[in-house]
Amino acid sequence: RALLEKELESVGIRLNKSKPNIYFKPKKGGGISFNSTVTLTQCSEKLVQLILHEYKIFNAEVLFREDCSPDEFIDVIVGNRVYMPCLYVYNKIDQISMEEVDRLARRPHSVVISCGMKLNLDYLLEKLWEYLALTCIYTKKRGQRPDFTDAIILRKGASVEHVCHRIHRSLASQFKYALVWGTSTKYSPQRVGLTHMMEHEDVIQIVKK
Is residue 4 one of the residues assigned to a domain? no
In a domain, 2, yes or no: no
Check whether residue 100 and residue 143 sit in a common domain.
no
Cα–Cα distance between 53 and 77 in angstroms, integer? Answer: 11
Q: Show pLDDT as tens, one digit a residue, over the chain (209 residues).
A: 999 999 999 999 999 999 999 999 999 989 999 999 999 999 999 999 999 999 999 999 999 999 999 999 999 999 999 999 999 999 999 999 999 999 999 999 999 999 999 999 999 999 999 899 899 999 999 889 998 988 999 999 999 999 999 998 889 999 999 999 999 999 989 999 999 999 999 999 999 98
CA max distance for the chain: 68
Please check whether residues 123 and 141 belong to one and the same domain: no
Range of the domain at 74: 17-81
Give the span between the Cα atoms of 183 and 201, in whole angstroms.
8
Task: Please tell me the total count of domains within the chain.
Answer: 3
Residues 65 and 119 grouped into a single domain: no
The residue length of the chain stands at 209
**66 in any annotated domain:** yes
Cβ atoms 159, 152 nearer than 8 A: no
Q: Which helix (H) or strand (E) holds 160?
A: helix 160-167
